[in-house]
């Protein structure tokens, strides 16, 4: 045991007032905090408890909203329709321009074709006159063959007008012929209707043979009723026919290609 144990402590006891003061201060602080907290809570709660007045969606307002939406949609549809119409108009204008250019080109081509055809016809007419003159001069027919008039003159005149035309099998004029079509067309000028093909033409009229021919007699090559070619006798040992693709419509001598028979229809 310490030798000082019996000596009373000289430490002064803490005054209770200070403790009470501290307690009071602490209590005051807590009270202040509590009051401030209360006030803060009250202020924080105020926005929550406020009532915001929202506009009421009445029938009238709903109608206006719907009408506005419809107007917007209609405007959009109108713009779309206008755009489509503009596009269609542009396309139509482009097609019309193309069609016009095509029509102009076609008209130009047709005009040029007509001009060429006219030139070709004029050239053929001149060639026919030349061929006829040369043929008459070479054979002496201009002086030796008596002029043919009336219906027979129309037949012979038509035949000579076709001199120089092309020979085309099955063609019936006006610028190309086969042999029987030319004979048929020539006699039609005199009002006589002949059959279309050579075989039948060799069967019409009166058989006269080839020894006593007259101008206008129809000559045929091959058997009677089975003839393969026909022509027309024009006098002085000559005949006119649509010969073949290489010669066309020409005047030829019977001596070079004697006929097998002849018929007379006028």
Question: Using one digit for the tens of pLDDT, what is the confidence trace for 148-165?
Answer: 557 899 999 999 999 999
Per the listing, tokens 């406020």 go with: 50
Tell me which of 209 and 131 has the higher pLDDT: 209
> How far is Cα 26 from Cα 18, in angstroms, rounded to an integer?
12
Task: Write down the pLDDT at residue 70.
Answer: 81
Please list the residues that pair with 262 across neighbouring strands: 219
**Res 248 pLDDT > 80:** yes
For the chain, the first-to-last Cα distance in angstroms comes to 190
**Res 263 pLDDT > 90:** yes
Task: Write down the pLDDT at residue 65.
Answer: 74
Nearest to residue 201, comparing CAs of 264, 252, 128, 125?
A: 264
Average pLDDT value over all residues in the chain: 78
pLDDT tens-place string over residues 104-113: 988 888 888 7
- What percent of the chain is predicted at pLDDT more than 70? 67
**Torsion angles phi and psi, residue 232, rounded to 5:** -125, 130
pLDDT tens-place string over residues 162-191: 999 999 999 999 999 999 999 999 999 999
How many Cα atoms are found within 13 Å in the side-chain-facing hemisphere of 174? 7
> How far is Cα 28 from Cα 183, in angstroms, rounded to an integer?
148
Provide the H-helix boundaries in 169-244: 179-188, 198-201
Q: Is 159 exposed, middle or buried (0-12, 13-18, 19+ CB in 10 A)?
A: buried
> How far is Cα 213 from Cα 237, in angstroms, rounded to an integer?
9
Q: What is the pLDDT confidence band of residue 253, given thresholds at 50, 70 and 90? A: very high
Tell me which of 245 and 138 has the higher pLDDT: 245
Q: What is the pLDDT confidence band of residue 121, given thresholds at 50, 70 and 90? A: low
pTM of the model: 0.48
Q: What is the mean pLDDT of residues 114-122?
A: 70
**Res 138 pLDDT > 50:** no
Task: Write down the pLDDT at residue 210.
Answer: 94
DSSP letters of 124-185? Answer: HHHHHHHHHHHHHHHHTHHHHSPP--HHHHHHHHHHHHTTTPEE-TT-B-SSEE-HHHHHHH
Q: What is the mean pLDDT of residues 64-91?
A: 85
pLDDT tens-place string over residues 14-65: 555 544 444 444 445 444 444 445 544 444 445 555 555 555 557 777 787 7
Give domain 147-264's CATH architecture: Alpha-Beta Complex (3.90)
Task: Write down the pLDDT at residue 150.
Answer: 79
Structure tokens at 253: 């001598």
213: which residues sit within 8 A by CB, 6+ positions away?
A: 219, 233, 262
Task: Write down the pLDDT at residue 189.
Answer: 94
Task: Write down the pLDDT at residue 55.
Answer: 56
**Torsion angles phi and psi, residue 245, rounded to 5:** -60, -30
Structure tokens at 47: 């926005």
């Amino acid at each position: 045991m310490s030798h000082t144990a019996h000596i009373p402590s000289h430490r002064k006891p803490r005054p209770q007032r200070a403790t009470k003061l501290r307690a009071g201060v602490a209590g005051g602080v807590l009270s202040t905090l509590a009051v401030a907290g209360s006030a803060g809570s009250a202020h924080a709660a105020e926005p929550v408890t406020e009532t915001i007045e929202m506009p009421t969606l009445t029938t009238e307002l709903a109608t206006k909203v719907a009408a506005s939406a419809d107007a917007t949609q209609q405007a959009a549809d109108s713009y779309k329709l206008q755009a489509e119409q503009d596009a269609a108009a542009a396309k139509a204008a482009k097609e019309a321009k193309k069609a016009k250019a095509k029509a102009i080109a076609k008209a130009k081509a047709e005009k040029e074709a007509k001009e060429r055809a006219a030139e070709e016809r004029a050239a053929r007419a001149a060639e026919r006159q030349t061929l006829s003159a040369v043929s008459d001069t070479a054979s002496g027919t201009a002086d030796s063959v008596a002029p043919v008039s009336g219906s027979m003159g129309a037949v012979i005149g038509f035949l000579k007008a076709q001199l120089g035309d092309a020979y085309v099998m099955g063609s019936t004029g006006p610028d190309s012929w086969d042999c029987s079509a030319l004979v048929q067309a020539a006699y039609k000028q005199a009002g006589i209707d002949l059959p279309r093909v050579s075989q039948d033409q060799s069967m019409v009229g009166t058989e006269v043979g080839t020894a006593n021919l007259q101008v206008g007699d129809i000559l045929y090559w091959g058997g009677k009723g089975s003839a393969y070619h026909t022509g027309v006798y024009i006098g002085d040992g000559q005949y006119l026919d649509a010969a073949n693709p290489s010669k066309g419509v020409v005047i030829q001598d019977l001596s070079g290609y004697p006929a097998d028979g002849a018929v007379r229809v006028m």
